[in-house]
C-alpha cells in the first residue's frame, strides 16, 4: 500500500540544529559577557546538553526539568557563576530565532508535498520549536507540527504517533512512514508504533537497534527515489 503521510523529524533531519545552537550560544555568551570564552565553553555546554537530553529520553528527568538542568550542569562543569533559569531563558530566546535548513531540505519538501501530506513530529521544546518550525519557510507545506513539550509525549513513545494521527484525521498506519536521524528517538518510535521507517544516516553510523529500518538513506535527495 502506498504511503500517504510522511512524518518528519525536525532537527538534524530537515533543520541544521548544530549550526543554530552554535549561533544561539554565541549570542547568549555575548549577553552575559563571556563571548571571548566561546571556544572553550561551547563544547562543555554541548556535552552537558546532550547528556541531559539522553536522561530525558530515558525518563530520568522531565522536559520541564531539562531546561534549567542542562545549564545547571553547564555552570558546574564550566566553573562559572550564573542562574540556570536565567541562562536557559536567555539561550532559548536566541535559539528560537535561529532557523537554518539543510541544503535541499526546502526543495525536497516542496516536491514531496505535491503528492504527500507532510507532518513534523519533534521532541524539541515548545518555546524553541514553535517559532523555528511554525514560522519557517517550510511552514506552508507542513500540515501540522507536533511538539512533544506541548503534548507531554516524547518520542519514542508510540502514543505520539497516535496523537499525530488524530491531528490529521487518519487511521491507517500502513500509509505512514517516519523519517529521522535518531535511532533511539525517531526509528525506535516507528518500530514501537508499528509504522515504516526511513533512517537518515548521513554519517554512516552503525545501527545499534535490534531490527533494521525499512529504508536507510545517506542524503535527503534519496527520499525522491523512495517516494
In angstroms, the CA 204 to CA 96 distance is: 29
Structurally, what CATH architecture does the domain formed by 5-16+101-226 represent?
Answer: 3-Layer(aba) Sandwich (3.40)
CATH number attached to the domain at 17-96 = 1.10.150.240
Bridge partners, residue 8, by sequence: 120, 179
> pLDDT, tens digit, for every residue of 112-152?
999 999 999 999 889 899 889 988 999 999 999 999 999 99
User: For position 1, what pLDDT does the model report?
Assistant: 57
- Give me the helices (H) in 135-208, please: 148-151, 159-167, 188-193
User: For position 64, what pLDDT does the model report?
Assistant: 85
Bridge partners, residue 216, by sequence: 199
Instruction: Write the DSSP string, 64-129.
Output: HHHHHHHHHHHHHHHT----HHHHHHHHHHHHHT---BPTTHHHHHHHHTTTSEEEEEE-S-HHHH
List, for the chain, all residue ranges whose pLDDT scores fall below the cut of 70: 1
* Active-site residue, 162 included: no
Domain ranges for the chain, please list them.
5-16+101-226, 17-96
User: For position 71, what pLDDT does the model report?
Assistant: 97
> pLDDT, tens digit, for every residue of 58-84?
889 988 899 899 999 999 999 999 999
Residue 53 to residues 58, 63, 79: CA-CA distances in angstroms?
9, 9, 21
Q: Which of 9, 149, 186, 196 is catalytic?
A: 9
Amino acid at each position: 500500500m502506498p504511503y500517504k503521510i510522511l512524518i518528519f523529524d525536525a532537527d538534524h533531519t530537515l533543520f541544521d540544529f548544530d549550526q543554530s545552537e552554535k549561533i544561539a550560544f554565541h549570542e547568549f555568551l555575548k549577553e552575559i559577557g563571556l563571548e571571548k570564552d566561546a571556544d572553550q565553553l561551547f563544547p562543555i555546554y554541548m556535552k552537558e546538553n546532550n547528556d541531559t537530553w539522553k536522561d530525558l529520553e530515558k525518563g530520568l528527568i522531565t522536559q520541564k526539568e531539562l531546561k534549567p538542568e542542562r545549564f545547571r550542569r553547564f555552570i558546574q562543569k564550566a566553573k562559572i557563576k550564573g542562574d540556570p533559569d536565567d541562562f536557559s531563558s536567555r539561550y532559548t530566546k536566541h535559539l528560537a530565532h535561529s532557523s537554518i535548513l539543510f541544503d535541499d531540505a526546502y526543495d525536497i519538501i516542496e516536491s514531496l508535498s505535491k503528492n504527500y501530506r507532510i507532518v513534523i513530529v519533534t521532541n524539541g521544546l515548545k518555546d524553541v520549536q514553535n517559532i523555528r518550525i511554525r514560522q519557517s519557510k517550510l511552514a506552508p507545506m507542513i500540515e501540522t507540527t507536533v511538539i512533544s513539550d506541548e503534548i507531554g509525549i516524547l518520542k519514542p513513545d508510540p502514543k505520539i504517533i497516535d496523537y499525530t494521527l488524530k491531528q490529521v484525521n487518519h487511521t491507517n498506519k500502513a500509509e505512514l512512514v517516519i523519517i529521522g536521524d535518531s535511532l533511539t528517538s525517531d526509528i525506535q518510535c516507528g518500530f514501537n508504533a508499528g509504522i515504516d521507517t526511513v533512517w537518515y544516516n548521513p554519517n554512516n553510523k552503525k545501527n545499534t537497534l535490534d531490527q533494521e529500518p525499512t529504508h536507510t538513506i545517506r542524503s535527503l535527495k534519496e527520499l525522491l527515489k523512495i517516494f
